[in-house]
């Protein structure tokens, strides 16, 4: 069985308020996380909420990185989805944990697009 991609869902706790609430810093950290993982960036968009919080996505050739922050709670929800063998989503997550100053990261990986070849037919398992 082979998968098309790896999707890491990460929860970062104890992050610095001033970092999570700064759209420019969040954008810079997310873009650099993609580069740290070896991804090729296509485009990115981020939005600052009032009174606080940032959401954004970095589109990469290999899929995407996305974030939503709750600065008042020191919390960020992140997902890093990569396809192919070249990019390691865990490298991006470790970078994010460090740069956001998290004191804890809970993360899990889901294999996406599990494909089996049976009788020369392509079968996708859901």
> Helix, strand or coil for residue 16?
coil
Residues marked active site are found at: 63, 68, 83
Centroid of chain to Cα 28: 13
Using CB atoms within 10 A of its CB, is residue 34 exposed (0-12), middle (13-18) or buried (19+)?
A: buried
Residues written for the chain: 126
């Amino acid at each position: 069985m082979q998968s098309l991609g790896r999707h890491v869902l990460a929860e970062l706790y104890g992050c610095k308020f001033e970092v999570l609430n700064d759209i420019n810093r969040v954008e810079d950290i997310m873009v650099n996380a993609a580069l740290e993982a070896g991804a090729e960036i296509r485009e990115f968009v981020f939005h600052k909420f009032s009174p606080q919080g940032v959401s954004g996505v970095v589109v990469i050739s290999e899929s995407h990185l996305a974030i939503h922050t709750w600065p008042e709670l020191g919390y960020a929800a992140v997902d890093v989805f990569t396809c192919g063998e070249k990019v390691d989503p865990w490298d991006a997550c470790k970078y994010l944990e460090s740069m956001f100053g998290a004191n804890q990261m809970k993360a899990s990986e889901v294999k996406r697009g599990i494909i089996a070849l049976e009788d020369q037919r392509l079968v996708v398992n859901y």
